[in-house]
Amino acid sequence: MPEFNLTNLEQIKNQLFQENLHAKKKFGQNFLVNENTLNKIVETARITKDDTIIEIGPGLGTLTIELCKRAKHVISVEKDKSIIPLLKKNTKQFPNLTIVNGDALNFDPDHYFSKNPINPNFKMVANIPYYITSPLINHYLKDQYLKKQKINVQSLTLLTQKEVAEKISATPSDLNILALNTQIFANPQIIDFVPANHFFPIPKVDSAIIHIAPLKTPIITENLTKVFQLISFAFAQKRKMLSNSLSAGLHLDTFTIKEELQKINIDPNLRPENLEIKNWEKIAKIFL
Ligand code: SAH
Q: Which domain covers residue 247, as residue numbers?
A: 224-287
Amino acid at 193: F
Regarding the beta carbon of 78 and ligand 1, being less than 6 Å apart is answered: yes
The average pLDDT across 86-101 equals 97
Residue 1's pLDDT is 42
Q: Radius of gyration over alpha carbons of the chain, in Å?
A: 21
Closest protein CA for atom 4 of ligand 1: 31
User: Which of 196, 214, 232 marks a domain boundary?
Assistant: 214
CA of 126 to the centre of ligand 1 (A): 8
- 112 with 238, same domain: the answer is no
- 205 with 233, same domain: the answer is no
Residue 209 main-chain phi, psi, to 5 deg = -95, 125
List of residues 6+ apart from 192 with CB closer than 8 A: 40, 208, 209
Question: What is the domain-level CATH number for residue 156?
Answer: 3.40.50.150
Domain assignment of residue 252, yes or no: yes
- 23 with 166, same domain: the answer is yes
- 57 with 193, same domain: the answer is yes
Give CA–CA dist 22/12, Å, rounded: 10
Give CA–CA dist 26/266, Å, rounded: 44
The average pLDDT across 28-40 equals 96
User: Which atom of ligand 1 is least distant from the CA of 127?
Assistant: 1
pLDDT surpasses 60 at 139:
yes
Pocket test for ligand 1, best of 24, 34, 80 (most atoms within 8 A of CB): 80
Q: How far apart are the first and last CA of the chain?
A: 67
Domain assignment of residue 3, yes or no: no
- 187 with 265, same domain: the answer is no
Domains held by the chain: number: 2
Cβ 204 vs Cβ 196: under 8 Å: yes
CA of 175 to the centre of ligand 1 (A): 28
Domain assignment of residue 41, yes or no: yes
Residue 108's pLDDT is 96
Domain assignment of residue 131, yes or no: yes
List of residues 6+ apart from 231 with CB closer than 8 A: 177, 180, 272, 280
Regarding the beta carbon of 29 and ligand 1, being less than 6 Å apart is answered: yes
Residue 4's pLDDT is 64
Give CA–CA dist 63/7, Å, rounded: 9
60-89 exposure pattern, b = at least 16 Cβ within 10 A, e = fewer: bbbbbbbbbebbebbbbbbbbeebbebbee
Domain assignment of residue 2, yes or no: no
User: Which atom of ligand 1 is least distant from the CA of 132?
Assistant: 22
Domain assignment of residue 219, yes or no: no
Percentages (nearest 5) of helix, strand, coil residues in the chain: 45, 15, 35
Residue 238, helix vs strand vs coil: coil
- 206 with 235, same domain: the answer is no
Give CA–CA dist 287/12, Å, rounded: 56
Mean pLDDT of the chain: 94
- 184 with 63, same domain: the answer is yes
Regarding the beta carbon of 57 and ligand 1, being less than 6 Å apart is answered: yes
User: Which atom of ligand 1 is least distant from the CA of 55?
Assistant: 1
Cβ 54 vs Cβ 124: under 8 Å: yes
Domain assignment of residue 152, yes or no: yes
CB count in 10 Å sphere of residue 227: 22
User: Which one, of 97, 43, 93, 54, lies nearest residue 77 by Cα?
Assistant: 54
Closest protein CA for atom 5 of ligand 1: 29
pLDDT surpasses 50 at 276:
yes
Q: Give tens-digit pLDDT for 160-174.
A: 999 999 999 999 999
- 172 with 37, same domain: the answer is yes
Residue 24's pLDDT is 93
Question: Virtual CA dihedral for 82, 86, 89, 93, nearest 10 degrees?
Answer: -100
Residue 111's pLDDT is 95
Domain assignment of residue 71, yes or no: yes
Regarding the beta carbon of 132 and ligand 1, being less than 6 Å apart is answered: yes
Q: Give tens-digit pLDDT for 194-244.
A: 999 999 999 999 999 999 999 999 999 998 999 999 999 999 988 899 999
- 127 with 239, same domain: the answer is no
User: Which of 191, 214, 237 marks a domain boundary?
Assistant: 214
Please report the DSSP string for 15-63 in residue order: HHHHTT----GGGT--EE--HHHHHHHHHHHT--TT-EEEEE--TTSHH
- 146 with 169, same domain: the answer is yes
CA of 178 to the centre of ligand 1 (A): 21
User: Which of 160, 186, 214 marks a domain boundary?
Assistant: 214
- 206 with 250, same domain: the answer is no
